[in-house]
Structure 1
Amino acid sequence: MNEKYQLSESSPIRLERISRADLFEHSGAANLVVDTDTTILAVNARFETVTGYSRSEVEGTLSWRELVHPEDRERMEEYHRLRRVDPELVPANYEYRFITSGGQVRWGLLTGATLAEDSRTFLSVVDITELKEKESALGRAEELYRGIVQNQTELMSRFSPDFTLTFVNDAYCRYFGETREQLIGSSFVHHVLPGDLAARKAYFASLTPERPEDEMEERAILPSGEVRWQHWHDRGIFDEKGNLIEIQSIGRDITDLYLTRERLDSTIEKLKNSFARAVEMAGKIIEVRDPFTAGHQRRVARIAKEIATTLGLPENEITAIELAALAHDVGKIHVPSEILSKPGVLQPTEWSIIRQHPVYSAEILKTLETPWELAEIALQHHERYDGSGYPQRLSGEEIRVEARVISVADMIEAMSSHRPYRPGVGVERALEEVEAGRGIIFDPAAADAALYIFRKKGFEI
């Protein structure tokens, strides 16, 4: 420190037991004392580290103005002037940019005070460059996030459990024809059909910390009065006690998809009914030739559908199972009636003919154009889980799930009903066979479902 300005123990600024020089030198900030004409009188070691200037380069020779970024200089000079007029006119601390000896621009947080009974100023500067860079990066990230969220075509919202909206994106505003100012802080209940409100409340109440996410399709009323359908993905946000405090929701309009699905469902239902009538006619022809199988296919279809539903199979597979079951024995029309209705034991040659009926059924069903692979299902309905079935000796997962379900239903109905070569043994005896054949002859899951619907649910043929 030069002779022009020395910080000593005798200085007017002194704290008890701590010298002014120690405070100045070791406070952790870049400290400097500036004269009235802005000349730097004294600096500490931290100033040298932060700016790259040595004491000898600045003390008594350099104005602090030369270290300030040109764009900030006018503001800093004004603060320097005002501090001498009235310190209350100047912020307690403020940010500015300074230039290091190497020409690098860095950010500082400056705190200044006029020395007691002196015209000189004490300045303390903390380098906040890294903090500003992180702040800038965060700002860019937030701007990017806002751009992504606001430019989304999907509807985005957040709301409290009482349906009060706390956030909506631009797409949400456009969709519901209301401004953000109108929506934020208000309930969206006016968008909900009265008959749907209770179900909506129950749906959100079902969200838990263990299962915070769910999806739903719902209707909404637009300002025009039009009712449209949306698909929503919702996520609950919970406090530390597990209380639901907010829901984040992302949705999209599915009205066109919903209407198309309704039309498709209607078409499928018509096709199903038409096909069922055709199968029923074929069944009646078979029943004329084989009266012992009267109603067999219809009963198998009922059992198989119930098993499939219990298994939770997709609706399309349940439909395929029901329709294939209604036609699984249609190939018996090619089996001579004297074999079908023969009392007593069949000869090996006769059994070989009987065992061809799945092939005949598949050939007939191939002629029908349907959305389901009914021919393949009918072909496999006598295959067995362990590979001992016919006609292809498939096993396990090689057999279609639809055929595995029908296989169980077919056996239960067949054993329960009278045949020319043996009397019916009843449902319970048939279920015992299912238990015995579980995982061997029959698919384990299909067998379990069959046992459940008869013994637990009280299903009757």
Structure 2
Amino acid sequence: MEQNLNILNLEDSPNDSELIKEILFDAGIECDIIRVENEKDYLWAIENHNIDIILADYTLPLFDGLSALKIALKKCPDVPFVFVTGTLGEEIAVESLKSGATDYVLKDGLLRLVPAVQKALREVEFKIKRKQSENALRESEEKYRELVESISSILYTVDNKGIVTYISPSVQALIGYSSSEIIGRSLFVLIYPEDISYIEKQFKKRLSNSLEPSEYRIVKKSGETIWVTSSSREIIREKKLVGLRGLIVNIDEDKKFKEKLNESLDRLQNANRGIIQAMALTIETRDPYTAGHQRRVACLARAIATEMNLSEQQIEGLNMAGSIHDLGKLSVPADILSKPSRLSEIEYELIKIHPEAGYNILKDIEFPWPVAQIILQHHERMDGSGYPKGLMGEDIIMESRILSVADVVEAISSHRPYRSAQGVDKALEEVADKKGILYDPVVVDACLRVFKEKGFKF
């Protein structure tokens, strides 16, 4: 980082605070630590310093970490909050993460401090970059609105052969010809040669009472070509069609701006994909099992969605969500994720917070797809037995219903730290048996077709 990291350290031990600074310094993280011990100083520091991250002890003589967390979530919700404490039982750890803490590190395991701080700062960086992209897009949209409001236009009338009988003086400002230079001439002489055939057909349609607008190019007196749009209505005299009255609007800047806007949108879409890929890579470096699982789940979910004829937008969103659907496991200690035996009840409860943890990381990022919602609901079940909300049936969005089936099929068929792979046949048998109970029957049927008829393989 170019500037020192501003760390607010809620800690009653100066020695422990100094140790934290030394560990971060040794890892190449330059930081300024503001150490406080009570609520008054804590509030003052938040309000008077640009804090980058909060490291807090859980229990202090004059204050407590959980109250500090509540204040931080209210006063500075975007600032990561990490517990660094001597003792923190599993139940309290689960509760703190559910309450909004970014992570926790035990003082007897400070080797985790640097990765925890780096992870928290990466999450903030993702949000900042995304907000910058959104602000840039907002500015582009405002410029677009200003452009549309300031466009110039030309009123004209032509007879039924296309000869100009009237054209407004604004024509000179737009294309360089005076009204007198155009009146009495065919309107077609102004049109770009490659567009004449198209406009002649449109003119005949208009004379036949077909009045849709047209976009085409006209040639200015200077020889420059510009884009315009034209709409017209019939001129009827004594029940006879004698010509057309129309409006020509300059859309050249509009066209160019739209092209630039589309380029900006493409860049924004690529930025979204880049954020997703960066998150997936972050998970992969921490837990290779989860990373490989996510890639395979995303691939299967995409195949199922395609089989179900979902829209391209939905398929893209599902693929993005599938690629990071276990993002929330970043908040779960790595030794639990890789435990080679069955999890304890407390450990399982800790694992179960990962959909909400992933949702909390992503909820403020305005992707063009409901990525956060898909991730939040991917462990819900049709009968309401899932988590975290116990949603049922149609209350679960379709993308999450697809992701849940893909997730289960991949998990059963693949190797896990605590068991060997059970194979695809066993996995398909499981979702087929629970079809309509735990899993959406339409999704399950599509999944079975993908494997048995389309030859899908992980």
> What TM bracket, shorter-length normalisation?
0.3 to 0.5
Normalised TM-score (structure 2): 0.44
* Structure with greater proportional helix content: 2
Q: What TM-score does the superposition give when structure 1 sets the normalisation length?
A: 0.44
